[in-house]
Chain A
C-alpha cells in the first residue's frame, strides 16, 4: 500500500517506473516472497522515503532499483529505458553513470583518504585523471567537506564519514541516489544535515533520491513516503 505525503509532480516524465515488481527467494523449504507486485514511480527532483519494518523488503527494493539484484517478475524502466534487459556490463555501466549508493554503515574504503574514496567511482567511469580533482572538490563542496579532501577517512567523525559517502555517491553526477538507512548510525543533528544535503541535491530538479529509513522524522522531510509491509507497497 502506498501512502503519499506529497503528490507526484504532474507533467514530468518518470525517472524510475516500476510495475508489478515481485522478488522471490527459493530455499530448501519453499519460496519466500519478499516483494509482491510493487509499483513505484519516481520523478527527478523529489525524495522518496521507503519505510517499513525489518525484513519487509525495503533494502531488496533498493538493490533492485540499483540493478544489484534482479526481480523475479515485473518491469523497470529508468528514464524510459528498460534496464532489466541490460547484460552484466550494461548493468555496471548503469551503476557507474546513473546511480549513486549511500549505505547505512558509512562504508568508506579503509586506510584511504577522502580523495581516494571519491576517486574510485571516477576511475570506474573512465574519467581522465586531470579532471578528477575538480569533480571531487565540487562533490565535497556540496557536503561542506572540501577542507577534508586529503584526510584519512578513518580519522573522520561518523557524520563526516556519511557526508563523504554522500559526496562519493554524487561525484559522478548520477540521476538517482539510492540511500539505505543513510542516517541509521547518526545522531539527530547529523541526520538532519544529511537530509539538508539531499534537499540541496534535488533542488536542481535533475536528480532524485530514494531513501530507505526507519526514522519518521527523516521520512517527514521527504516528498513522498511509501510503506512496505509483507512485500506490499
Chain B
C-alpha cells in the first residue's frame, strides 16, 4: 500500500468518525495546549510570582557587599564589574549602592544620618515605591543632580510630615532638593536614611563615598544558586575582591522553591494525566474500532491486503488522531499564550514556543504509536475467516 494512499485512507476514516473521536481529541488538545502554555509562559509565571513575593522576603534579590571593616583597604564595585554581572544569564537587573554617614541639617536641626548613594535601578531591583513625590531616576544620576529622597520615618522625624517634596535639605554643606519620600514598608535602616544619586554621592561626599554593595535581582528563584556562586567569580576576574560577602535569604528561598515545586508538580501532573488519559482514550477507541471493523479487516484481507497493510492503516489512523489533536492543541496553546501574554503584559520568547510545539508533536507521536500499536497488531493478526464471519 502506497504511503499517499495510506495517509488519504486513514485521514478519511478519522474524519468520517470524528464524532466518535471527539472526546479523545479534546483531551489530547487540552493537554497539548497546557504543555505549550506551561513551557512558553512558565518563566514569566515565576517572574510574576517573584514580583508578588517581594513583601515576603525578596527571595530573588542577592546582596553582594564588601566587608570593609575587615579589609585592609576600602573596596568597592567597579562599573565594569557591575556591567559584566548584568550580562550573566538569569540576571534581571543590578544596582550599586554606597553608604556614608554625613551631617544633615534642616533649619536648626543637625543630625548625622546615613546617606545612601543609589543608581536609578535601586528601586526596581528592590521593588520600592515612593510614598509621595518621585524616586531618583536616570536623569538625576546622569546629571549628577543635587536631589534627594527621604525615608518615611526620617521625613516624619525631620519635618513632622510626609509631604515634603520641593523642600531643601542640607547634606554635607550642600543643599539638596527633596523630590520624594520612600514608602514605609522598607527596613528601618532605609526608612531612617536619605538617598542621593550615586554620581552626586561620589562627587560631593567626603572620603570613601563609593559603592561597596551590589544588588542583583534574579529573573526567577531558579537562577539564585547559579548567580550566588558565579557573581563573585565574575567580580574577582575584573577587580580586587577581598572579603566579598554574599547575602541570600536561603531559608526563604528554600521555602519558596519547595512551594513552587509542589505547585509545578500538581500543574504538570494535571497536564500529564490529561495526556495519559488521551493516550488511554486513543488505545480504547482504537480497540473498539478494531472490534467494530472486524468484518472490514477480513474483507480487506480477502481483497489481498497483507498483515502489514492492515497494521499500517490502524497505526496511521491512531497517528492521525493523536497528531490531529496535537495540532488543534498547538493552536489552542498559541491562543492561550497570547491571552496570558496580554494579561501579564509580556511577550514570551518565540523560541520557547517552537520548542514546546516540537515537544508536543513528539509526545503526540509517542501517544499515537504507543496507544495504536497493540490494537493495530491485533487487527493485523486477525484470522481472516473468523473476521469475515464476525457478526
A residues contacting B by CB (< 8 A) are 63, 66, 68-69, 88-89, 92-97, 101, 103, 107, 109-111, 116, 120-121, 123-126, 129, 168, 172
Contact = CB atoms under 8 A, between A and B. Distances in A.
B300 interface: yes
Given A124-B300, A126-B2, A172-B304, 7 more contacts: A68-B301, A92-B305, A94-B304, A95-B301, A110-B296, A124-B303, A124-B309
A88 B16 CA distance: 32
A89 B4 CA distance: 22
Contact of A120 (B300, B306, B388): B300
Contacts of B309: 124
Interface string B11-36: 01000110000000000000000000
Contacts of A111: 16-17
A68 B302 contact: yes
B263 interface: no
Given A107-B388, A123-B2, A92 B296 contact: no
Contacts of B16: 111
A95 B304 contact: yes
A6 B10 CA distance: 47
Contacts of B306: 88-89, 92
A121 B304 contact: yes
B299 A109 contact: yes
A81 B267 CA distance: 65
Contacts of A109: 296, 299
A94 B304 CA distance: 7
A130 to B, nearest CB: 12
A109 B299 CA distance: 9
Main secondary structure of the interface of B (DSSP, over half): helix
A124 B305 contact: yes
B151 to A, nearest CB: 78
Contacts of A103: 299, 302, 388
Nearest to B384: A68
B304 A125 contact: yes
Contacts of A97: 304
Contact of A96 (B17, B303, B307): B303
A188 B16 CA distance: 35
Interface of B: 1-2, 4-5, 9, 12, 16-17, 295-296, 299-307, 309, 384-385, 388
A18 B99 CA distance: 108
A69 B388 CA distance: 12
B303 A68 contact: no
B13 to A, nearest CB: 9
Residue from A63, A89, A92 having most chain B Cβ neighbours under 10 A: A92
Contact of A95 (B4, B12, B296, B302): B302
Nearest to A63: B385
Contacts of B1: 123-124
Contacts of A95: 301-304
B9 A123 contact: yes
B385 A69 contact: yes
A89 B301 CA distance: 11
A103 B387 CA distance: 12
Nearest to B292: A110
Residue from B2, B307, B385, B388 having most chain A Cβ neighbours under 10 A: B388
A93 B17 CA distance: 31
B10 to A, nearest CB: 12
A96 B304 CA distance: 4
Contacts of A120: 300, 303, 305
Residue from A92, A116, A121, A123 having most chain B Cβ neighbours under 10 A: A123
B317 to A, nearest CB: 14
Contacts of B302: 66, 68, 95, 101, 103
B295 A107 contact: yes
Contacts of B295: 107
Nearest to A102: B302
A12 B322 CA distance: 56
A232 B343 CA distance: 82
Nearest to B307: A88
Contacts of A172: 304
B5 A123 contact: yes
A121 B385 contact: no
B115 to A, nearest CB: 83
A93 B299 contact: no
A191 B295 CA distance: 23
Contact of B303 (A88, A116, A121): A121
A116 to B, nearest CB: 8
A182 B306 CA distance: 25
B190 to A, nearest CB: 75
A120 B1 CA distance: 10
Residue from A88, A101, A125 having most chain B Cβ neighbours under 10 A: A101
A173 to B, nearest CB: 13
B158 to A, nearest CB: 86
Residue from A120, A121, A125 having most chain B Cβ neighbours under 10 A: A120
